[in-house]
Structure 1
Amino acid sequence: MKAEDLMYQNLKTIIAPFEEKERGESVAFLNWFLENIYRLDSVDADDAICDRPNDKGIDGIFVDHTQEEILVLQGKLKQRESTIGDSPLRELAGTMTQLADEKSVQALLDGGANEELKRLIVRNNIKVLISKGYKVIGVFVCNQSLDENGREFLRQDLSLRAYDRERIASEYIDIDVEGGISGKFTFDASYVSPMIIRTSDRATTYILPIQALELVKMAGIEDGTLFSQNVRQSLGNTKVNKALRDSVLSQSEHENFPLYHNGVNILCEKALLENEKLIINNYVVVNGAQSISTFKKSADKLSENLRVIAKIIQIKDQHLSRKITINSNNQNAIKPRDLKSTNEVQVRLREEFLRIENGKYELEIKRGQEQKEGSILITNEEAGRLLLAFDLMEPESCHQVYKLFDDKYADIFARPAVTAYRIIVLYLIMERIQKVAANIAYKPLSRYGLTRFFLMSVVAELVKSDEKASEYLKNPKMLFDTRKIDKFVEAIETILQSIIVDLNYEIEDLGDQFDYKGDLKSPKKIQELRNKLLRSYEKDVARNKADSLANLIS
Structure 2
Amino acid sequence: MYQKIQSEIQQEYYQTNFPNDGQRFVAWYLRNVHMRDRNQTRHDITDGPGDKQIDAIVIDDERNIIYVIQGKFIGQDKVDSEPLREVLSSWVQFRDLDLLQQNGNDRLKAKLVEVATALEDDYELVFELITTSSLTQSAEDDLAMFQQQIANFEENDDISSSIDLVDNEELQRRYDMALETENPFIKHKFQLISGKYMDMEVGGTQVVLAAVPLTECLKIPGIKDGSLFQKNVRQSLGLNNAVNKGIKNTLFGDKHQDFFFFHNGVTAICSKMEIHDGTLHTSGLNVVNGCQSLTTIYSCSERVKKLQETYVMFRFYEIPQRDRADKISISTNSQSPVKPRDLRSNDKRVLNLKKLYEQRYPTGLFKTKRGEETPADRDPKYVLDLADLGKYLISWHSQRPNIAYSETKIFDKYFEQLFKREYQPEDAQALNMWMHSIKCCWSAENPLGLNETLLAMKAYAPFHHLYAVSKCFAIMTKESERVPSPSVCYRQAEQKQVVDKIVEIAGLTLNMALEAAANEPQPQNRVFSPQNWIKTKNCLAGINFAVNNYFLMLPSMPGGGAVLQTLKEALIIPRENFEYRWAAD
TM class, shorter-length: 0.5 to 0.7
Please give the secondary structure, in 2, of the residue aligned with 1:404. Answer: helix
Alignment partner of 2:100 out of 104, 108, 124: 108
What residue is the counterpart of 1:451 in the other structure? 461
Alignment partner of 1:141 out of 124, 130, 133: 130
Distance 2:7 2:127 in 1: 27
Tell me by how many angstroms 1:169 deviates. 1.6
What residue is the counterpart of 2:487 in the other structure? 476
Question: How many pairs are equivalent?
Answer: 487
Query: Using a 3 Å threshold, how does the CA distance of structure 1 residues 83 and 109 change in structure 2: closer, same or farther?
Result: same
What residue is the counterpart of 1:317 in the other structure? none
Question: Within 5 A, what are the aligned runs for 1:88-99?
Answer: 90=82, 93-94=85-86, 96-97=88-89, 99=91
What residue is the counterpart of 1:56 in the other structure? 52
Alignment partner of 2:236 out of 238, 249, 269: 238
Contact 1:350 1:363 in 2 (8 A): yes
Please give the secondary structure, in 2, of the residue aligned with 1:431. Answer: helix
Contact 1:63 1:124 in 2 (8 A): yes
What residue is the counterpart of 2:267 in the other structure? 263
Q: 1:309-346: CA deviations, max 9, x gaps?
A: 52388xxxxxx9xx699997996557746744454533
Tell me by how many angstroms 1:382 deviates. 1.1
Question: Over the residues paired in the alignment, what is the CA RMSD in angstroms?
Answer: 5.4
Contact 1:76 1:141 in 2 (8 A): yes
Q: 1:46-98: CA deviations, max 9, x gaps?
A: 8994447543341235799xxxx9964123568xxx336538x6356347535
What residue is the counterpart of 2:169 in the other structure? 166
What residue is the counterpart of 2:350 in the other structure? 346
Tell me by how many angstroms 1:246 deviates. 4.3
TM-score by length of 2: 0.64
Please give the secondary structure, in 1, of the residue aligned with 2:384. Answer: strand
Question: Match of 2:527, as an amino acid?
Answer: Q
What residue is the counterpart of 2:70 in the other structure? 74
Distance 1:342 1:70 in 2: 30
Distance 2:552 2:59 in 1: 44
Question: Match of 1:168, as an amino acid?
Answer: L
Distance 1:206 1:538 in 2: 68
Question: Match of 2:130, as an amino acid?
Answer: V
Contact 2:84 2:139 in 1 (8 A): no
What residue is the counterpart of 1:534 in the other structure? 547
Query: Using a 3 Å threshold, how does the CA distance of structure 1 residues 457 and 140 change in structure 2: closer, same or farther?
Result: same
Question: Match of 2:411, as an amino acid?
Answer: F
Which runs of no fewer than 5 residues in structure 2 stay unpaired? 147-162, 251-257, 331-337, 573-585
Please give the secondary structure, in 2, of the residue aligned with 1:74. Answer: strand
Please give the secondary structure, in 1, of the residue aligned with 2:28. Answer: helix
What residue is the counterpart of 1:496 in the other structure? 506
Contact 1:180 1:284 in 2 (8 A): yes
Contact 1:179 1:229 in 2 (8 A): no
Please give the secondary structure, in 2, of the residue aligned with 1:35. Answer: coil
Contact 1:487 1:553 in 2 (8 A): no
Distance 1:452 1:135 in 2: 25
Distance 2:95 2:249 in 1: 34
Alignment partner of 1:364 out of 348, 364, 367: 367
Instruction: Give the fraction of aligned pairs with identical amino acids, expressed as a percent.
Output: 13
Tell me whether 96-105 or 426-435 shows the greater mean CA deviation.
Answer: 96-105
Q: 1:410-445: CA deviations, max 9, x gaps?
A: 3212236x3111122222211222223433544342
What residue is the counterpart of 1:216 in the other structure? 214
Distance 1:102 1:369 in 2: 41
Query: Using a 3 Å threshold, how does the CA distance of structure 1 residues 447 and 433 change in structure 2: closer, same or farther?
Result: farther
Q: 1:193-251: CA deviations, max 9, x gaps?
A: x5722899xx964336x4xxx53143xx44556989994269x9832874651453588
Tell me by how many angstroms 1:529 deviates. 2.7
What residue is the counterpart of 1:515 in the other structure? 529
Distance 2:93 2:507 in 1: 47
Contact 1:62 1:71 in 2 (8 A): yes
Query: Using a 3 Å threshold, how does the CA distance of structure 1 residues 35 and 330 change in structure 2: closer, same or farther?
Result: farther
Tell me by how many angstroms 1:495 deviates. 1.5
Query: Using a 3 Å threshold, how does the CA distance of structure 1 residues 531 and 297 change in structure 2: closer, same or farther?
Result: closer
What residue is the counterpart of 2:333 in the other structure? none
Query: Using a 3 Å threshold, how does the CA distance of structure 1 residues 497 and 270 change in structure 2: closer, same or farther?
Result: closer
TM-score by length of 1: 0.67
Question: Within 5 A, what are the aligned runs for 1:64-463?
Answer: 72-75=68-71, 82-83=75-76, 86=79, 90=82, 93-94=85-86, 96-97=88-89, 99-100=91-92, 107-111=99-103, 113-121=104-112, 123-124=114-115, 139-142=128-131, 145-146=132-133, 150-152=135-137, 154-155=139-140, 157-158=142-143, 159=146, 162-171=165-174, 172-173=176-177, 174=180, 179-180=188-189, 185-188=193-196, 194=198, 196-197=200-201, 205-207=207-209, 210=211, 215-218=213-216, 221-222=217-218, 224=220, 231-232=227-228, 238-239=236-237, 242=241, 244-246=243-245, 248=247, 257-258=263-264, 263-264=267-268, 269-270=275-276, 280-281=278-279, 286-288=285-287, 290=291, 291-292=293-294, 294-295=296-297, 308-311=313-316, 333=330, 336=340, 339-341=343-345, 343-354=347-358, 356=360, 359-366=362-369, 368=372, 371=375, 373-375=377-379, 376-415=382-421, 418-437=423-442, 438=446, 439-448=448-457, 449-463=459-473
Contact 2:69 2:128 in 1 (8 A): yes
Tell me by how many angstroms 1:460 deviates. 2.2
Query: Using a 3 Å threshold, how does the CA distance of structure 1 residues 427 and 538 change in structure 2: closer, same or farther?
Result: same
Tell me by how many angstroms 1:518 deviates. 1.3
Q: 1:353-396: CA deviations, max 9, x gaps?
A: 3454x635432334547757142211122111101111101212
Tell me by how many angstroms 1:458 deviates. 1.9
What residue is the counterpart of 2:158 in the other structure? none
Question: Match of 1:180, as an amino acid?
Answer: K
Q: 1:518-537: CA deviations, max 9, x gaps?
A: 112212x2224313422431
Please give the secondary structure, in 2, of the residue aligned with 1:349. Answer: helix
Contact 1:226 1:284 in 2 (8 A): no
Please give the secondary structure, in 1, of the residue aligned with 2:71. Answer: strand
Please give the secondary structure, in 2, of the residue aligned with 1:415. Answer: coil
Tell me by how many angstroms 1:152 deviates. 4.3
